[in-house]
Structure 1
Amino acid sequence: MVQKSTSTAGLRGQVAGETALCTVGVTGSGLTYCGYDVSDLAANATFEEVAYLLQFGQLPSQDELDRFHQALKAQRALPQALCEILERIPKSAHPMDVMRTGCSALGVLQQENDFSEQDDHIINMLAKFPAIMTYWYHFHFNGKKIETGSNADSIAEHFLELLTQSSPSELHVQALQASLILYAEHEFNASTFAARVAASTLTDIYSAVTAAIGTLRGPLHGGANEAAMALISSFNDPADAEQGLMAMLSAKDKIMGFGHAVYRTSDPRSIVIKEWAKRIGEEVGNMNLYNISEQCEKVMWREKELFPNADFYHASTYHHMGIPTDLFTPIFVMSRVSGWAAHIKEQRANNRIIRPSADYIGEEPRVYTPITDR
């Protein structure tokens, strides 16, 4: 047997590279983008400011932000060929499959021919991802072809306008802005690392982002907000949640939306979105899901010392904003493309192909046996 080297399953705790984009859980909690605390950004910035920050390392001036907004607005409408592709994706497909296929198709229709074009293609994806999911959704579930361009002031407003086919409330726009900021970037998580591995081969930016979307599609990475919605909607009230969770814990069932691979004491994003969950619940006059969520939080901390992650309180927030549960994770894509793209740019700027080694645990060397002698 070949001698094994020191390795860590899943690369946990292993440093795989350098980044100037993000710090995660340095002191057990906390999250920064280019040195700015995510809570500060969520309270004061727009998602467009944060997307600009991740791409260029600095918050934009007003003139820079205005130009960024105009560039995004100009690219919102989907090309007809992409609309036709989306129409042919079956209604039974998961919306994450739609996002993966839509991104790949976009890369065929509007190809990145040179890395000097990368900023234009990042704007293209940021602008078009909201329409990719909403066009497919309306075509298959509402039987209509929607207009995919708009003059909305932000990506958050644009998405909500396309989804609801009406002008969203300012509170909903603000809540979604905060959500997009919280989901924008998270260091070397699985999907970001997949994007960097792809980028290290010098592939085009759409291929790298498609790899990231495919990785996020896995239930161990994305989808926890959908699972959290299924959990909290299965309970009638906080008392029912207490009993139900205790039964699940006794049966050793997996409970999604709690704990984190990096954070040790709390997830700073959860603190922010919890407040928005409360405000949105109060706006619609229905606090039951929020109260159930809060009881789940209390039980999980009391019994397991597990805290809610970013996805947990997103569930009731999105639900009360009228967002279908299947679209929860695609919204993650709509935001995280800003972080993925920034990492792709960073990888390209100082590239070396990512090619780790593995410990061989197979058979000792063997001699080929002719098939007649087997």
Structure 2
Amino acid sequence: MIAKGLEGVTAAETGISHIDGAKGHLVYRGQWAKDLALHHTFEEAAYLLWHGTLPTPDQLAELHEDLVQQRRLTPELRRLLDALPRSTPLMSALQCAVSSLAGDESAWPPTRWQALQLTALLPVITAYRYHQLSGTPWDEENHGEMGHAAHYLFLLFGRPATPAQIRAMNAYMVLAMEHGLNASTFAARVVASTESDIYSAVGAAIGAMKGPLHGGAPTGVIRLLDAIGAPDQAEPVLRAMLERGERLMGFGHRVYKTRDPRAEALRDVCAGLAGGDPWLDLAVHTERTAIRLLAEYKPGRELYTNVEFYAAAVMRAAGMPASLFTPTFTAARIVGWTAHVLEQAAGNRIYRPQSLYTGVMPSAT
């Protein structure tokens, strides 16, 4: 029997995260991901995924300082990014920049320092390329006092974000950093299983993340909300889409058969960005309307809001254009990718699944 898409196939043992789609559970190394998002920083969650425990105050301070030291573009990286054609998409630029970091000494085994280096650099590369393509000035001022999420927002917009925006972006990045053996993480582990370098593994993961079925869902949510435009149009627009058999982006999930715990956490955080924000008001009204209509049109399917719906709300409320949604997802997921690469290396066996030949056989001789 063939499991298309490897549906239901267990391909690895992991201590990094646990997902129970029937119960709506997401656990990072023994901690509820929702609690981490609401009560801990990106740095604390990253340390947990890399090391297996939450950091002490001294360990957290050391991690913060290491990230600060690594979050600056080298002259070589800047020249590489400057040389790329403007037609090169941001995600492809990220892939190219990450691949350029590999050297002969970095081949195998991967290290936690490399994981930290990549985590520190991806937001900087993203912001630099964004300013290149936008024609806006680049300010690489390295505010050492800023946390990871706050510094990323500063690099993008050239000004400190509000506390509510920082809290929301931090929560999103914690919730997006890890989610089991998804397509991009599996791609990273497959490459790592060949004993290739961590940069090549992450480059493969970025290639998978570029696909609209994986990293493009928040952009689809924006298109949905733009099509609705105002709360009083939510029901007629959504009803017409369901009548045509169209999918509502931001609702339902391949794994979760009940409420997505990541969406619930972001919904709580979004309350801090409310207060007359028409975008968030539209998102909240659309969610309520969509869940009611989905129950009407697809009874028994248990289709609820997934993380991409409120991810779009958070990033749009922070002022991000849609072109930054997937790169921002990538800047968060880098932690999970590198944790899985490190885990793969610790007990490696090359991936080599079988395939079933469905072509014709040559004539007997």
Same fold by TM-score greater than 0.5: yes
Whether 1:247 aligns to 2:240 is yes
**Residue 77 to residue 12, structure 1, CA distance change in 2 (3 Å):** same
Between the aligned partners of 2:328 and 2:355, the Cα distance in structure 1 is 35
Structure 2 distance, partners of 1:17, 1:249, is: 38
Match in the other structure for 2:184: 191
User: Residues 53 and 226 of structure 1: is their aligned pair in 2 closer, same or farther, counting only changes over 3 Å?
Assistant: same
Structure whose alpha-carbon radius of gyration is higher = 1
Q: Secondary structure at the match of 2:307?
A: coil
1:348: which partner in 2?
345
The answer (yes or no) to whether the contact 2:287–2:305 under 8 Å persists in 1 is no
CA offset digits 1:295-332 (Å, max 9, x no partner) = 23432344333111110111122111111111011111
2: CA distance, partners of 1:112 / 1:270:
37
TM-score (norm 1): 0.91
Unaligned 5+ residue runs, structure 2? none
- Pair 1:210 & 2:207 matched: no
Would you say the 8 A contact 1:232–1:293 is kept in 2? no
Whether 1:299 and 2:264 are equivalent positions in the alignment is no
* Residue matched to 1:276: 269
2:359 maps to 1:362? yes
Which amino acid in structure 2 is aligned with residue 364 of structure 1?
A: M
Structure 2 contact 27–33 (Cα < 8 Å) conserved: yes
Asked if structure 1 preserves the Cα contact closer than 8 Å seen for 2:167 and 2:269, the reply is: no
Q: What's the counterpart of residue 3 of structure 1? A: none
Stretches of structure 1 lacking an aligned partner (at least 5 in a row): 1-5, 369-374
- CA distance, structure 1, for counterparts of residue 153 and residue 276 of structure 2: 17
Aligned pairs for 1:1-374 (under 5 A) are 6-25=1-20, 27-107=22-102, 112-115=106-109, 118-147=111-140, 149-282=142-275, 284=277, 287-304=281-298, 305-366=302-363
Q: Secondary structure at the match of 1:203?
A: coil
Q: Verify the 8 A CA contact 1:237 1:291 in the aligned structure 2.
A: no
Whether the aligned pair in 1 keeps the contact of 2:193 and 2:350 (CA below 8 Å) is yes
- State how far apart, in whole Å, the 2-side matches of 1:53 and 1:181 are: 11
Q: Matched residues in 2 for 1:264 and 1:187: separation?
A: 16
Cα deviation, 1:312-371, whole Å, max 9, x if unaligned, reads 111122111111111011111111110010100110000000000011111123369xxx
Query: Taking structure 1 as reference, are residues 103 and 152 closer, same or farther at Cα in structure 2, changes over 3 Å only?
Result: farther
How many residue pairs are counted as aligned between the two chains?
361
Structure-2 residue corresponding to 1:372: none
* Identity score, percent: 37
Provide the residue aligned with 1:371 in structure 2. Answer: none
Give RMSD over aligned pairs: 1.9
TM-score by length of 2: 0.93
| Separation (CA, whole Å) in 1 of partners of 2:143 and 2:203 | 25
Conservation of the 8 A alpha-carbon contact between 1:52 and 1:60: yes
Deviates more, 1:96-105 or 1:323-332: 96-105
Of the structure 1 ranges 359-368 and 264-273, higher mean CA displacement relative to structure 2 is found in 359-368
